[in-house]
A and B are shown apart, each in its own frame.
Chain A
Amino acid sequence: MDTEVPVSAPARTDEPVLDVRDAHVSFGPKPVLRGVTVRILRGETVSILGESGGGKTVLLKVMLGLLPADPGSARLLGVDLAGLSDDALIPLRKRCSVVYQGGALFSGLDVGENVALELREVLRLPAAEIAARVHWALDAVGLGDTNPRLQPEELSGGMKKRLAVARAIAPHPEVIFYDEPTSGLDPLNSARILHLISELRERLGVTSVVVTHDVHGACAISDRILFLSGGRLAFDGPPDGFLASTDPRVAAFCASVAGPTPAGVA
């Protein structure tokens, strides 16, 4: 990744980028989040861990304003998300990117167009800048040598994930949300993606929120670990503390997902 990053990394500050307070979410009679409070500062990389169905993705949607906290509150980039319409969310969402679990690549567009689409259609950037950003983003994720005319289905699983990350970073977002960025990848590609997330933080100062099952990967790249259990926040602290936690829920989770540390991450 030797392409010059076209933006400077802002200093980490105490400014909260995300501020979720006492968030409750229920689907019918079933509570999914039960009073979760999370504060994420600018420039932080925070991983959200937890068992399946523990509320990780729901919390992510609350942070993005896709699900309301009721009761509770959520602020993204200083804006209260309560009651915001889709239209009102647009300016906020333009400052954020999401890397979806399945990649959510545009199946009808080639590699280059996948990255360029939002730059052209949403940000309305001039063609020269779009070309520069596409080149930079693909290079940043290690796809600089990949034929930009390839279709997504011609890529491997790891390349698809990296393309999804390239698409997310090209608009120069302030916050990137990753939903299971390493799921379905082999250890080598998992390590590559995690290394990329870490490097983006270092080079761009991007605030990163990572939802994952990957304990070792999360601990390797994160400033902080959030652990959700039964819809409640069972742990909020540094990776070392998480791995050393004596909380039975944390210990049980770590034991259940124990595996080798991804090469090149630690």
Chain B
Amino acid sequence: MNPRRRLGRGSSGVGTALAAALLGFALGAVPAAVAADAAPPPGREARPAPPLSSAPLSSAQPPSALSSAPLSSTQPPSARASSAPRLPQEGSPPASRWKVQASAVGAWSLPVGLEGDRGDVEVRRAGFDVLTTYEVSSRLSVGFDVGAERSTYRFSDRDRVVAGVGRLFEEGTTAYVTPGFKVTLDDNWSYGAAVTVATGFAPGADPADGTTASVMATVRRRLSPSLALMVGGLYATNIEDDPLIVPIVVVLGAGDGPGGPVRFEFRGAGVRAAYPLSPRVSVAAAVRYMNRGFRMASDDRMSEGVFRDVRVPLSVEFDLHPTRSVTISGAVGVNAYADLRFEDRRGNEVVEAQADVGFWFALSATFRF
């Protein structure tokens, strides 16, 4: 194993998309719950624990997934149900046990230089996510999340990135499914688990060769109306790399005192601070850790190798809620860190190139049914 690669992995903190995703499960579920408990909407009964529709499962997916953080794959603005404002509900029919949230997202990272005189790279992504949840009882919710994302990389001079014959890496697809459940024991205790099966692959590659799986379980304890503690663990496999085991210990809360109305939300492997300007508009700042892996085809330059894209985007985001069931989100940000890595079929690093800091933009639309 290349020591430099190991160093890189170590320095990046979390080394897998699924890890990031499942960590998001742990982190993403509770803030909404805490926030909901802290500030029940007018006319709505404050529930001891949120249904899955407030996104406990939606985060249990690769960062490329969209539902929990509709643009999280592509460096997201927020369009999650949990972050939607609580609009007046007088006269609303009883909530259905079924909830469906569908999101679509597009993002564009402007061209940036790669270290080592390897030219520029521009990245575009588009994806969708559908999260379906069902409230089996007041204490049990189950959910099923499915989504996919297409990434397009435009290298200005691919021969300077990886010299050789065949395609470098111009397109990649990720797809995932995440079933899960959440059990609420009482006002203070709940637990949940989710399993994600995902794949990332280039055109012509066998999706089965890019498959990864992960499982995560967490237990949440509410400490106060605005504070909760979550502990758990994550186990995730990687394409041609060691599996990852991550302990999870997180304190979550919503600013309900000195912090004012700012809501801190954890989603994906990252945090988002949102400030509602009105019931229909909010702004936010976010930082995330994104990690994508793709299996390449046998005719590709790195025959059956692996392409990894790790980045840390910072963003300013806004959410617009024209109705209770629709959220339009936008984001502008920079990739504070971006590292592209080509590995051979055994996972040995061939080329690693860090990208310059660059701007990106994203838009998403989320519909709740």
Interface residues, chain A, CB within 8 Å of chain B? 66, 86-87, 90, 93-94, 98, 100, 102, 104-109, 113, 117-118, 121-122, 151, 167
One digit per residue, 1 when the CB lies within 8 angstroms of any chain A CB and 0 when it does not, for chain B 331-346 equals 0000000000111110
Q: Which residues of B contact A104 (CB under 8 A)?
A: 118, 159-163
Q: Is B166 engaged at the interface, CB distance under 8 Å to the other chain?
A: yes
Q: Which residues of A contact B4 (CB under 8 A)?
A: 108, 151
B159, B167, B304, B341: the one contacting A100 at CB < 8 Å is B159
A66, A107, A117, A122: the one contacting B166 at CB < 8 Å is A122
Rounded to whole angstroms, the CA-CA distance of A109 and B347 in the bound complex is 12
Q: Size of chain B's interface in residues, with CB distance under 8 A?
A: 31
Contact B351 A102 (CB under 8 A): no
Q: Which residue of chain A lies nearest to B163 when distances are taken between CB atoms in the complex?
A: A104
Interface residues, chain B, CB within 8 Å of chain A? 2, 4-5, 116-118, 159-167, 299, 302-305, 341-345, 348-353
Evaluate whether A117 and B167 lie within 8 angstroms (CB atoms) in the complex, with A102-B116, A108-B2, A122-B303 already known.
Answer: no
A93, A108, A122, A167: the one contacting B348 at CB < 8 Å is A108
Rounded to whole angstroms, the CA-CA distance of A93 and B159 in the bound complex is 12
Evaluate whether A117 and B165 lie within 8 angstroms (CB atoms) in the complex, with A100-B159, A102-B116 already known.
Answer: no
Evaluate whether A122 and B164 lie within 8 angstroms (CB atoms) in the complex, with A108-B351, A109-B350, A117-B344 already known.
Answer: yes
Main secondary structure of the interface of B (DSSP, over half): loop
Contact B302 A121 (CB under 8 A): yes
Contact A122 B165 (CB under 8 A): yes
Contact B163 A108 (CB under 8 A): no
Shortest distance between the CB of A232 and any CB in chain B (Å): 25
Rounded to whole angstroms, the CA-CA distance of A232 and B5 in the bound complex is 46
Rounded to whole angstroms, the CA-CA distance of A167 and B160 in the bound complex is 14
Instruction: Among A106, A109, A118, find the residue whose CB has the most chain B CB atoms closer than 10 A.
Output: A106
**17 additional contacts, CB 8 Å, given A100-B159, A151-B4?**
A86-B166, A86-B167, A87-B299, A90-B165, A90-B166, A90-B299, A93-B166, A102-B118, A104-B118, A107-B116, A107-B350, A107-B351, A108-B349, A118-B164, A121-B305, A121-B345, A122-B303
Q: Which residue of chain B lies nearest to A118 when distances are taken between CB atoms in the complex?
A: B164
Q: Which residue of chain A lies nearest to B161 when distances are taken between CB atoms in the complex?
A: A104
A87, A93, A98, A106: the one contacting B351 at CB < 8 Å is A106
B5, B159, B303, B345: the one contacting A108 at CB < 8 Å is B5
Q: Which residues of A contact B352 (CB under 8 A)?
A: 107-108
Rounded to whole angstroms, the CA-CA distance of A102 and B344 in the bound complex is 22
Contact B303 A121 (CB under 8 A): yes
A90, A105, A121: the one contacting B344 at CB < 8 Å is A121
